[in-house]
Amino acid sequence: MKPIEIVKGIYWVGVLDWNIRDFHGYATPQGTTYNAYLILDEKVTLIDTVKKEFADQLLDNIAQVIDPKKIDLVVSNHTEMDHSGGLPRVMHKIGEDKPLYCSKMGQKNLALHFPEKWNYQPVENGGVLNLGQRTLTFLETRMLHWPDSMFSYVREEELLFSNDAFGQHYAGPERFDDQTGEAIMPQAMKYFANILLLYSPLVLQLVEKVSQMGLLIRTICPDHGIIWRQDPSRIIKAYVEWSRQKPAKKAVIAYDTMWKSTQKLAEAIADSLNQTGVEAKPMHLRSHHRSDIITEILDAGAVLVGSPTMNNGIFPTVMDFLTYLKGLKPAKKIAAAFGSYGWSGEAVKLINQELEEMKFDLIDPGLKIQYVPGPQGIQAAFQLGQKVGQALKNL
């Protein structure tokens, strides 16, 4: 890849991963990027690295700008291996004794990933490092989304290296928001829903803190996807909006089915909701990836979960989905369960337990239909849709 100069003397030297389709359980149909950044100053600085298998490509990119051995220091904003996996190769190339700046938790976590005894330079929150013409200010962003996460800010350029925050899993020819336009926002939303949703309160606190500190931000350089240079406030405002989780008049119906009986109920509920003027999306769990369903749930006011009873329990894909949903802690949702059963019919009760644990507002005991829903069963599904639709309209 050809390095891209973002502002004078600061380069994108990252790599594109065109082929990845599963990022630890998150569907990435458009691949991803691992962004790393090079600052040419009196102290030549590398911000983050890339996934291990792309480390040589990173070094080749750097070599188009400067001999990698001239790098004076490395900053690791986050330990997860899509950003740190290339560290052993990079440190070996530039000199194992070169300083490696990270948060205190970063030092601890890096040492738990890599046996090398690097020259760690743990930094304090708010600590400043003078590079010559520019400075780096470090801002700890604990649990956004790992305890070691931090931002590095170049005050002189009003440029923020935000690591995972504000990223998108997207590989394409564009490097900047002015090149993608609005088309990048669904990717940014999916990224937020799957990586940061459970930390929404911390996102709001961080935005407030940055605002109080009076940090001016002209450019945001995340470690995945495009760089925000035309309108960085666009993505900050979107993060605030997504973090607030204001429920829209929209329902997501996530379900699986064995002999299409639960599917008939799901589609009748969707039809009913649509007739009340509520946008309803029936999403079959073997046709839609869980990471896409959670993205739809981000702004939905209602979540309905349907499962046939299988072996006295919940269908496996539905349990997988509920586990994923529970971990991401979406808030402010109306919910209900439904499903077809043969003889025992435990699934609805078990789903209700899961939804209650998630602190969703269960507005119905749930709809159970034995075997195949006839007109009465479809009517009951329709009534459930009406009930949910009315509750959404009253929000």
Which residues are the active-site residues?
24, 78, 80, 82, 145, 164, 191, 224
One of 83, 229, 250, 387 touching ligand FEO (CB under 6 A) = 83
One of 17, 41, 48, 82 touching ligand FEO (CB under 6 A) = 82
CA distance to 74, 163, 170, 239, 296, per residue, from 185 (Å): 31, 18, 11, 11, 13
One of 40, 59, 78, 107 touching ligand FEO (CB under 6 A) = 78
- Work out whether 48 is an interface residue with ligand FEO (CB under 6 A): no
Nearest-CB residue to ligand FEO? 80
- Work out whether 290 is an interface residue with ligand FEO (CB under 6 A): no
Comparison of 76 and 137: residue with beta carbon closer to ligand FEO: 76
What are the DSSP calls for 246-301, one per residue? PPEEEEEEEE--SSSHHHHHHHHHHHHHHHTT-EEEEEETTTS-HHHHHHHHTTEE
Closest CA to 370 of 339, 326, 348: 339
Interface pattern 147-186 for ligand FEO (x via CB under 6 A): -----------------x----------------------
How far is it, in rounded angstroms, from Cα 69 to Cα 60? 12
Least Å distance, CB 222 to ligand FEO, is 9
Least Å distance, CB 168 to ligand FEO, is 11
- Work out whether 140 is an interface residue with ligand FEO (CB under 6 A): no
CB atoms within 10 A of CB 375: 7
Which tokens belong to 118?
Answer: 């690097």
CA distance to 36, 131, 205, per residue, from 69 (Å): 16, 17, 39
Comparison of 224 and 290: residue with beta carbon closer to ligand FEO: 224
- Work out whether 41 is an interface residue with ligand FEO (CB under 6 A): no
The structure tokens 């350029």 sit at: 157
- Work out whether 93 is an interface residue with ligand FEO (CB under 6 A): no
CA distance to 91, 172, 223, 395, per residue, from 81 (Å): 15, 22, 12, 42
Q: Which parts of this chain interact with ligand FEO (CB under 6 A)?
A: 78, 80, 82-83, 145-146, 164, 223-224
